[in-house]
Structure 1
Amino acid sequence: MEYLQSNGLNMPRLGLGTFRMQGEVCRAAVESALELGYRHIDTAAMYGNEDAVGAALAASALPRAALHVTTKVWHDQLAPDAIHRSFDASLGQLGLDYVDLFMVHWPAADMNLPAIFETLERLRESGRTRAIGVCNFTVGMVRAVVEEIGIALACNQVEYHVLLEQTVMRRYLASHSMALVAHCPLAQGRLAEHAALVSVAARHGATPAQVALRWLLDQDGVAAIPKAQRRESQQANLDALKLRLDDEDRRALCALPKDQRFVTPPFAPAWDGAGD
């Protein structure tokens, strides 16, 4: 496994996303991933699966220090007291004394940034979360937290894949020692539609999904959390770590359209512009 350092956090660069996996299906998927070598598990209060993730963690013989566990607070729970309640509930569901990363899942239109991040910082100082971060924040929002409020964030988790530009975001995060964690890194299964990806994959005896993951992980400061329920898919994503792309491959991938955003809930922020 490859790791990256982000404001003191040692994060496996390839993790398991668990969105839309619940109950026994989720528990079995996380157990399988841990057996295969995954050490980064991403969940959230909104997913309704923290209990299943926790059961899989408890069944593992791995020491807690070997694992990276992320969870998140939903955007309607961003008042300080609500953040504490959500955090306590998440720890209870997971059966853990601490998480490695606690994040704001989505920004809210009326959020009080100083109150939110002072609360998160106190949780970090207590040791119950090793680091704090955000998801789906624009560059301007991240800048406000880091430069105006003065809070050190570990990362911003945003949609990022070979069909969506995030250069401005990635450069800003890197300039402040923050990671970009790519959710939806396989573009929701759409990658096989693009001849360039198929061609690159064929040259390497790989799949378009493996090529897309390797493209992401070749970038400094980027981690990815593809969802993979089946053991075969989990192994295929791990095998992407063995792939080596060359300059010809990268040119072909750079030529793909980079303006396709697939995660657009009605509460999403207005993105700052191309490549934010």
Structure 2
Amino acid sequence: MDLPPVGLGTMGIDDPDAVATALSVGYRHLDTARIYDNEAVVGDGLAAGLTAVDLDRGDVTVATKLWIDDLRGEAVAPAARESAERLGVDAIDLLYVHRPRGDYDPETTLPALDRLVEEGLVRNVGVSNFELADLDRAVEVLGRPPAAHQTELHPLFYRPELLDHAREHGYPVVAYSPLAGGRVREVDAVTEVADAHGTTPEAVAIAWAAAKEPVVTIPKASSEAHLRANLAAADLDLTDAEVAAIDAVEREEELFPE
């Protein structure tokens, strides 16, 4: 998929105005999930934003995820239809397996998702929080790579082997929590680069992730100022040495472990 460098992560957003504002300032990728319990909020914000900015529905990628109890073969289609209804869309642009846990079985879950593509309810099938073995099995069962792999990625938690797999198979990596829940402000390598550029640690964290092909980011923001700042951060050019300095951070802090 051709996804923009910065999209909007919506976990915790409960006001449609934040989503509409994101579209008004230039966001074209909205990410939610059934477990966030805000698909209707995102849908209302999408509808308002499309009208306010005079956008076509096709201009915006709308992504959601099936939770681990939605992944039985016979449960996939009803769950996806409920999500589409809450989002107010005829088709979900990108539907992820949220985690390969619970009722997930690649032999039944992935074919059920593929049938939704054939029906037109879903345009692309993605995966989220997969390990390398899970990714390889998905490629084998689908007969193609996933449309995208969403995974936690920020200066305190970085798994280059997942990016290598994406490069090898030609799909984007969607980085969630790229600001590490605000903890990037505590990372010396990040703050030093921010000082050198006269910008914020948050902007550097997004730019660092965006520098890693094929990574796109979905930071959460709700105020117009933060929405604009995150969107602009992808245009910040870091030197190879600056990227390498952040790569070398030894501390690991996974925010959303299994």
Q: Is the 8 A contact 1:117 1:151 kept in 2?
A: no
SS at 2:113 equivalent: helix
Corresponding residue number in structure 2 for 1:273: none
Give 1:255 deviation, angstroms: 2.5
1:43 aligns with 2:32: yes
Equivalent residue for 1:120, pick from 113, 122, 134 = 113
Which residue in the other structure is 2:13 paired with? 21
| DSSP-derived class of the 1:170 partner | helix
CA distance in 1, matches of 2:179, 2:125: 25
The one of 241, 254, 258 aligned to 1:261: 254
Q: Distance in 2 between matches of 1:38 and 1:54?
A: 15
State whether residues 72 and 103 of structure 1, in contact with CA within 8 Å, keep that contact through their aligned partners in structure 2.
yes
After TM superposition, list the pairs within 5 Å mapping 1:113-192 onto structure 2. Answer: 113-148=106-141, 150-192=143-185
* Contact residue 72 and residue 103 of structure 2 kept, 8 A: no
Task: Give the match's secondary structure for 2:41.
Answer: helix
Q: State the alpha-carbon separation in 1 of the partners of residues 42 and 157 from structure 2.
A: 30
Q: Distance in 2 between matches of 1:148 and 1:125?
A: 16
Shift of 1:127: 2.1
Letter in 1 for 2:208: W
Which is richer in helix? 2
Q: 1:158–1:182: 8 Å Cα contact kept in structure 2?
A: yes
SS of 2:140 mapped into structure 1: helix
Q: Which runs of 5+ in 1 are unaligned?
A: 1-8, 269-276
Note the C-alpha offset of 1:229. Answer: 1.5
After TM superposition, give the deviation of residue 165 of structure 1 in Å: 2.3
Counterpart for residue 12 of structure 1: 4
Deviation at 1:260, TM superposition (A): 2.1
Partner of 1:274: none
- C-alpha separation in 2, matches of 1:185 and 1:160: 6
Match of 2:233 among 240, 258, 264: 240
2:157 match: secondary structure: coil
Cα distance in 2 between the residues matched to 1:50 and 1:127: 19
Check if 1:54 corresponds to 2:43.
yes
Q: Which amino acid aligns with 1:176?
A: H
Offset at 1:246? 1.1
CA offset digits 1:154-188 (Å, max 9, x no partner): 11111011121211111012111121111111111
Whether the aligned pair in 2 keeps the contact of 1:33 and 1:234 (CA below 8 Å) is yes
Q: Structure 1 length as normaliser, TM-score?
A: 0.88
Instruction: Indicate the SS of the match to 1:12.
Output: coil
- State the shift of 1:82 in Å: 1.2
Matched, 1:91 2:80: no
1:129-165: per-residue Cα shift (whole Å, max 9, x none)? Answer: 2110111111110111102552431111110111212
Q: Which residue of 2 aligns with 1:251?
A: 244
CA 1:191–1:76 in 2, change beyond 3 Å: closer, same or farther?
same
**Alpha-carbon distance between aligned partners in 1 of 2:254 and 2:17, rounded to the nearest angstrom:** 30
Question: Aligned AA for 1:68?
Answer: T
Cα pair 1:114 1:149 within 8 Å, conserved: no
Aligned-residue Cα RMSD (Å) equals 1.4
Q: Single out whichever of 239-248 and 114-123 deviates more from structure 2.
A: 239-248
The answer on whether the counterparts of 1:121 and 1:151 sit within 8 Å (CA) in structure 2 is no
Greater than 3 Å deviation, 4+ residue runs: none
